[in-house]
Amino acid sequence: MNPYATQEAPELLWLERINHASVFIGAIAFGVTIITYCMCSYYILQSGKPAAWKCKWLLYVTALFSLACVNVALNIRFNELVYIDNRGYPGGPLAFLLQQQAVPVNIAGNSETIVISFLSDALLIYRCFIVYQRWWVIVIPAIMWIASTVFAVLFTIQAALPQSSLWAQKTLDFALPYFSIVMALNALLTILLVGRLLYMRRKIASVLGGEHGRMYSHIATTLLESAVPYGLVSFVFIILYGTKNTVANLFIPFLAQLAAISPTLIVLRVARGFDMNNETFAKQEPLKIKFQHKTPESSTDNGADGSQEVSMAVFRSMSESISRLRSNKEQETDISSVV
């Protein structure tokens, strides 16, 4: 037996340990955030894209990084308030932790987590619109995005009330719908994007061969790699949080960092030229391949080269099929890749 050990109940001591460890887990994840941000900023500045494009996405990833950085700092500061600055609080650090969740530092940290998630989902909705080029595709995601924002505001306000906390029942009434909608929105957007890209890959491969469809597979893989970790961690967190399991505290700072890392990875891939931007889908520039082909009729009749023109509209909003063959004097294959 440790003569200096606290006399608190084991479950309460466990809550303190979980809360303390969660800050360090978030700080470790922030190290990954730093790396991805530095890489992304470097490739954005080194890319040959227009200055306006560079400024837009550099501002976006910088905003995510700044919020993630401040989130870690606020979590550390709240731990200082609990275990150092207010160690003489009636009932000890645990009482302060349970009764003073509404201190400005903690509320600011919770609010920043929500803002990071808001920006992350905004990027996926934007990408979904770019890939589909149809506004009605993003109607349901946009409604879910707005609904999650409303619940986030209500959740933050409720948690900020005196004597309230993340574990109060009234807070759970807003927090659970918020986290559930965010997780569902992330899953829906990922499915829409990956499904569209794989469909595009199949159409391209059917016309030009499998080699030309690889880019779409790589993009789909990137989306899955960046979205799956956040989705899985969110799913585990919602189960634990809904059952009021204190282990859920471990995931809160970690989720904030994942929400910043995922969109940064997507922007990084675009900056490196391994992904597609809006120009890829918006431009309608045909690729023409010309070649000569002698037909028996032409060589027999007048010795001239016969030809055919194959005009294939591979994608017209990804719904047009290969167009008909037409006979002409020169053979020209006009493959219009319109996405």
Residues 71-89 have pLDDT tens digits of: 999 999 999 999 999 988 9
All residues at 6 or more sequence positions from 309 whose CB lies less than 8 Å from its CB, including other chains: 325, 326, 327, 328, 330, 331, 332, 333, 334
CB-based burial label for 269 (10 Å; 0-12, 13-18, 19+): buried
Q: What is the pLDDT of residue 44?
A: 94
Distance CA 217, CA 135 (A): 24
Q: Contact, 113 vs 259, CB < 8 A?
A: yes
Residues 194-232 have pLDDT tens digits of: 787 777 767 766 666 555 555 555 655 655 556 677 888
Residues 249, 253, 259, 261: is their CA dihedral positive or negative?
A: negative
Tokens at 244, concatenated? 């009021």
- Rg (C-alpha) for the chain, rounded Å, is 27
Q: What is the pLDDT of residue 49?
A: 87
* Residue 47 pLDDT exceeds 50: yes
H/E segment holding residue 125: helix 104-132
Q: How many Cα atoms occupy the beta-carbon half-sphere of 45 within 13 Å?
A: 9
Residue 151 vs residues 146, 183, 205, 319: alpha-carbon distances, Å: 9, 13, 43, 38
Lay out the sheet containing 332-338: strands in order across: 287-290, 332-338, 307-316, 325-328
* Residue 292 pLDDT exceeds 60: no
Q: What is the pLDDT of residue 48?
A: 85
* Residue 67 pLDDT exceeds 90: yes
Tokens at 24, concatenated? 């360090």
Q: Contact, 333 vs 287, CB < 8 A?
A: no
* Residue 28 pLDDT exceeds 50: yes
pLDDT averaged over every residue in the chain: 77
Q: Which is higher by pLDDT, 223 or 245? A: 245
Q: Contact, 174 vs 158, CB < 8 A?
A: yes
Distance CA 174, CA 70 (A): 24
* Residue 162 pLDDT exceeds 80: no
Instruction: Report helix, strand or coil for 311.
Output: strand
Q: Any idea of the CA torsion for 316, 317, 319, 325, to the nearest 10 degrees? A: 10
Q: How many Cα atoms occupy the beta-carbon half-sphere of 234 within 13 Å?
A: 24
Residue indicated by tokens 């990804």: 318
Q: Quick one: average pLDDT of 26-50?
A: 94
Residues 310-330 have pLDDT tens digits of: 333 333 433 343 333 334 433
Q: Quick one: average pLDDT of 49-72?
A: 95
Q: Which is higher by pLDDT, 232 or 66? A: 66
- pLDDT bin (cut points 50, 70, 90) of residue 256 is very high
* Residue 242 pLDDT exceeds 60: yes
H/E segment holding residue 174: helix 169-208
CB-based burial label for 11 (10 Å; 0-12, 13-18, 19+): exposed
Residues 93-143 have pLDDT tens digits of: 888 888 888 888 988 988 888 999 999 999 989 988 888 888 898 999 999
Phi first, then psi: give them for residue 274, nearest 5 degrees.
Answer: -95, 0
- pTM comes to 0.76
